[in-house]
């Protein structure tokens, strides 16, 4: 695995030791960023099931100002720390060991808002639509935020989810990527949300 583009282009990232994680392949990562970017102008990203941290690091490398990495496994958190150091992210990275729901509650208390969210859980977890609703309900998303869900190709998430609209869906072997745009509830108050990529 490597960083594909931007500030840290070409730097090699470590995989999490053992067989329990399934890092996003460079091919899928490249496809994701060609769909959502490919480059960004600031903002904060959330890598919620971070694993190696590869998606969040790539987002920072391509212009996101800061990335928050969450994983509940110590071995993954240790790997993220090493990869963040390799990428030379410095203070642009926040890394926490926690499960997704607890982490979201803690971030909501801090009134943290995200422009870009990566949800790449173990494929047996098919409740990312529930987590997306919680992100919206807790006011954790900027207007027109993008949420990237990586999941088993056999599972299909709805095209419309409350405040979310699926704008891309693609399959790569046994992996599928569903990309949603958040249409904030207050974007209908007469002010236009900024939808520039």
CATH number at residue 79: 3.40.50.150
3-state secondary structure the chain: CECCCCCCCCCECCCCCCCCCCCCCHHHHHHHHHHHCCCCCCCEEEECCCCCCHHHHHHHHCCCCEEEEEECCHHHHHHHHHHHHHHCCHHHEEEEECCHHHHHHHHHHCCCCEEEEEECCCCCCCCHHHHHHHHHHCCCEEEEEEEEEEEECCCCCCCEECCEEEEEEEEECCEEEEEEEECCHHHHCCCCCCCCC
- 20, part of any domain: no
- 194, part of any domain: no
- 197, part of any domain: no
- 121, part of any domain: yes
The pTM for the full model equals: 0.91
In the chain, how many domains are there?
1
Give residue 45's domain range.
26-187
- 47, part of any domain: yes
- 9, part of any domain: no
- 59, part of any domain: yes
Question: For residue 3, what are its two tokens?
Answer: 């960083």
- Give me the tens of pLDDT residue by residue for the chain, a chain 197 residues long: 899 999 999 999 999 987 566 778 889 999 999 999 899 999 999 999 999 999 999 999 999 999 999 999 999 999 999 999 999 999 999 999 999 999 999 999 999 999 999 999 998 999 999 999 999 999 999 999 999 999 999 999 999 998 999 999 999 999 999 999 999 765 444 333 343 44
């Amino acid at each position: 695995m490597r960083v594909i583009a931007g500030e840290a282009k070409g730097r090699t990232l470590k995989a999490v030791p053992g067989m329990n994680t399934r890092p996003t392949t460079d091919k899928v990562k490249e496809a994701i960023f060609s769909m959502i970017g490919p480059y960004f102008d600031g903002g904060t990203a959330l890598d919620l099931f971070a694993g190696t941290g590869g998606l969040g690091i790539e987002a920072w490398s391509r212009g996101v100002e800061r990335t928050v990495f969450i994983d509940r496994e110590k071995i993954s958190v240790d790997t993220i720390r090493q990869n963040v150091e390799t990428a030379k992210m410095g203070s642009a990275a926040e890394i926490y060991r926690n499960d997704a729901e607890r982490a979201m509650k803690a971030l909501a208390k801090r009134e943290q808002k995200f422009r870009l969210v990566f949800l790449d859980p173990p494929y047996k977890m098919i409740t990312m639509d529930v987590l997306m609703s919680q992100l919206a309900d807790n006011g954790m998303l900027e207007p027109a935020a993008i949420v990237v869900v990586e999941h088993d190709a056999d599972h299909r998430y709805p095209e419309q989810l409350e405040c979310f609209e699926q704008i891309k869906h693609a399959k790569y072997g046994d992996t599928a990527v569903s990309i949603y745009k958040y249409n904030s509830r207050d974007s209908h108050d007469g002010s236009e949300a900024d939808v520039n990529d």
